[in-house]
Structure 1
Amino acid sequence: MPDRPEIVCICGSTRFAEEMAVANRDLTFAGAIVVAPGVFGRTDGGGAGEPITQEQKTALDALHLRKIDLADRVLVVNPGGYVGESTGREIAYARETGKPVSFTEPG
């Protein structure tokens, strides 16, 4: 067993909160340390959670990049192959920093 468990950062649209929770649970039971979005509101009021301001979204997006920095790899939760704008930026950032990126669904 390695000195520490693998750290996995979950990325994806916050509209997929339930699917992210399942991925988080599965990874945790598999022995991984999971970092994931902590707030599931959206600026347009859609999806799970309370609406957030654009300023809050900008801060959360920056924080999520720091979570990617902590991770050994990234798992993109993308039901139906969906990858939104913010998630696309996170994928690009992860790849630029040498993090392996995998997806729950091909797309």
Structure 2
Amino acid sequence: MPDRPEIVCICGSIRFVDEMRTANRDLTLAGAIVVAPGVFLRAEDPEANELITNEQKTALGALHLRKIDLADRVLVVNPGGYIGESTSREIAYARATGKPISFTDPA
């Protein structure tokens, strides 16, 4: 038995915020420590450009890579098999650091 719970980093497009929240809940109830995106503003949200700057977006992307560093594994939330540019970059980073990766939709 490990001395601490598994740490899982959730990655995926912010368009799947509801699915990411469900995965977070399910993993947490299963006893995992979950790290996930902390800001869920999408570019198409009218308030997005007023609330978050390009510099903040860049910083959040770098912060998410550090969350991957902390994780034992990565779960990619990708309904319909969709993987966007940011998620692709996160997957490549996770692979480069040797993190196991699983997908909610292996399609």
Give the TM-score taking structure 1 as reference length. Answer: 0.92
- Please list, as runs of the form range in 1=range in 2, the aligned pairs for 1:23-42 lying within 5 A after superposition: 23-42=23-42
Partner of 1:75: 75
Alpha-carbon distance in 2 for matches of 1:31, 1:89? 28
Once residues 4 and 75 of structure 1 are traced to their aligned partners in structure 2, the CA distance between those partners, rounded to angstroms, is 19
| Alpha-carbon distance between aligned partners in 2 of 1:25 and 1:18, rounded to the nearest angstrom | 11
Distance (whole Å) between structure 1 residues aligned to residue 106 and residue 30 of structure 2 = 22
CA apart distance, 1:50: 4.2
Does the 8 Å contact 1:8/1:33 carry over to 2?
Answer: yes
Distance of 2:53 and 2:96 partners within structure 1: 28
- Amino acid in structure 2 at the alignment position of 1:34: V
Query: Match of 1:45?
Result: 44
Which gives a bigger RCO, structure 1 or 2 (Cα 8 Å, sep 6+)? 2
Structure 2 alignment gaps of length 5 or more: none
Counting aligned pairs with the same residue, the percent is 81
- SS of the aligned residue for 2:40 comes to coil
Cα 1:50–1:38 change in 2 (3 A) is farther
| Partner secondary structure for residue 10 of structure 2 | strand
Q: Tell me the number of residue pairs that the alignment of Structure 1 and Structure 2 aligns.
A: 104
In the superposition, the TM-score normalised over structure 2's length comes to: 0.92
Distance 2:79 2:58 in 1: 24
Q: Which consecutive residues of structure 1, in runs of 5 or more, have no partner in the other structure?
A: none
SS in structure 1 of the partner of residue 64 of structure 2: helix
Whether contact under 8 Å (1:40, 1:50) holds in the other structure is no
The runs of at least 4 aligned residues of structure 1 exceeding 3 Å deviation read none
2:14 matched to which residue of 1? Answer: 14
Q: Give, in whole Å, the separation in 2 of the partners of 1:76 and 1:55.
A: 25
Aligned-partner SS, 2:8: strand
